[in-house]
Amino acid sequence: MRGATIRIGFVSTRLAGTDGVSLEVQKWAAVLTELGNECFYFAGESDRPPERTHLVEEAHFKHPDIQRLNGELFERRVRATATSNAVQSLSQHLKSRLQEFVGKFDLELLITQNALSLPMNVPLGIALGGVLPRRVYPPSPTTMIFIGRELASPSRLPETTCIWRSPLNCLPSVMW
């Protein structure tokens, strides 16, 4: 049964090649497109159609700044103030780019793949917390779906309330 077209955005660190996340997004997009919806992509690396992609280098888990932060966040017992400041700065940059993505394609629904379930890019997870609406549907531990027109209006960004609690307790609630 086909309903009204929904503009759907996929968010991940990388959507390219034959890794599990890229293949999963490809399957989701094929089914959703067949149902009459439009799909768009946000990632640090992408082999999806360029006219439907918002490429942001810092979203990639292999970006030098992200790799440096991961070393500082996960290989040290004490986090330096400079590390916290760098995470916040990069999170704000990524939040701005996510808002551009949502506005550019007038998105109504976001599907994240591994962007909130794994600490591969902590600033991206925090940034997502700044743009997500209240309604959350968890089809799997690594996929989260966020629904709502409020995505498109940065001036009306609500606090994120997760209905489903991940092991990270909904990463955006982490205080830096």
Q: HSE on the CB side for 158, CA within 13 Å?
A: 14
CA angle at residue 115 from 5 to 146, to 5 degrees? Answer: 35
Q: Residues in the chain, how many?
A: 176
Residue 34 parent element (H or E): helix 20-34
State the pTM of this model: 0.77
pLDDT digit of tens for each residue in the chain (176 aa)?
456 788 999 999 999 999 988 999 999 999 999 999 999 999 999 999 999 999 999 999 999 999 999 999 998 888 899 999 999 999 999 999 999 999 999 988 888 888 887 788 999 999 988 887 654 444 555 555 554 444 433 333 333 333 333 333 333 333 33
| Whole-angstrom distance, CA of residue 39 vs CA of residue 91 | 24
Q: SS3 sequence, 75-139?
A: CCCCCCHHHHHHHHHHHHHHHHHHHHHHHHCCCCEEEEECCCCCCCCHHHHHHHHCCCCCEEEEE
